[in-house]
Structure 1
């Protein structure tokens, strides 16, 4: 008889709690979401949630990490010879239409400010590690210019921030989102050229 304890098909309770938190944020926004409401939506006691997260910022950090990591994972394998550029553009496009990301930017934009002005988050570190690894691989095969792969990756991510957060402010009759994405791809491509 096999143990049900290590059954990969069984969802993690923590994921269900994060799903409940995500639903709360989509429905009422960050300011009106409480751990009590997350517990109610998850169908568990408040203490169950409090044992996992001491406060809403900690829960939010875990939710955003899970969400953005899934976005990055969804773009794995994107691209051919210019794989890093294609993957970065695909990731930016995916973030711009991600339901949670859009809701946070529209209703609670202050939630992203710490990650732009004060510190990196776990998902940013993941993106930087993937980019630095791709830069180093490109340097090894001669398709990426020499330099510190970590610094190059960070420069690419910094350049991409505006395309994630502000591209919609630049879209009008003068330039489409697709044209701006093409400009981003060109910018990234030229930044990497040997």
Structure 2
């Protein structure tokens, strides 16, 4: 068991990932996941109340897996922005994100327009912590860390979810560069 996740839960999420990558969320059922996992559907329901909860757990697992590990903090703004851009780029390149963007964009709309998910709340909390540390070190402007973190999350989330839409104008390397400039400009300490 890793981080409170049993082997069975991990196997169910692995099977759900394979099904979603193959068919999308709308065409994946609890029966599909259970069959791929080699368990009874009732076993799946011992861990999650419904298939939507499985999908939510899957998306959370996949997104949180690409976050930087550890509680280290950057030593200057370029390093901090580099970590933010690298993380956003890893999310952008997740096969699950690509597949959901193609087949189930309304899922993203729900979490962008209507409610915050577990992964967004976790990312926001870590961003606020990192921003607070960067403010104490003097290389991020002063303001409420929670509010700055919310805007950084919005900027990065928008950039990640819309990257493919603007790919003809902003190829991957330019996307990284321009996201870095946007974040650095937003977070930098104003000149005296």
Alignment check: 8 A CA contact 1:75 1:91 kept: no
Matches within 5 A, 1:1-194: 12-73=7-68, 81-82=76-77, 83-172=79-168, 174-194=169-189
Q: What secondary structure is seen at the aligned counterpart in 2 of 1:62?
A: helix
Q: Distance in 2 between matches of 1:78 and 1:138?
A: 7
Q: Distance in 1 between matches of 2:179 and 2:154?
A: 12
TM-score by length of 2: 0.88
Alignment check: 8 A CA contact 2:92 2:161 kept: yes
Which protein has the larger Cα radius of gyration, Structure 1 or Structure 2? Answer: 1
1:162–1:181 CA distance, 2 compared to 1 (3 A): same
Q: How far does residue 29 in structure 1 lie from its aligned partner after superposition?
A: 1.2
TM-score by length of 1: 0.87
Q: CA RMSD in A?
A: 2.4
Q: How far does residue 145 in structure 1 lie from its aligned partner after superposition?
A: 0.8
Q: After the TM superposition, which segments of 4 or more aligned residues of structure 1 sit over 2 Å from their partners?
A: 73-84, 174-177
Count of aligned positions: 187
The CA deviation string for residues 73-96 of structure 1, in whole angstroms up to 9 with x for no partner, is 469869763333112211111111
1:73–1:193 CA distance, 2 compared to 1 (3 A): closer
**Structure 1 gaps, min length 5:** 1-5
Q: Which has the higher contact order (CA 8 A, sep 6+)?
A: 2
Residue 3 of structure 1 is matched in structure 2 by: none
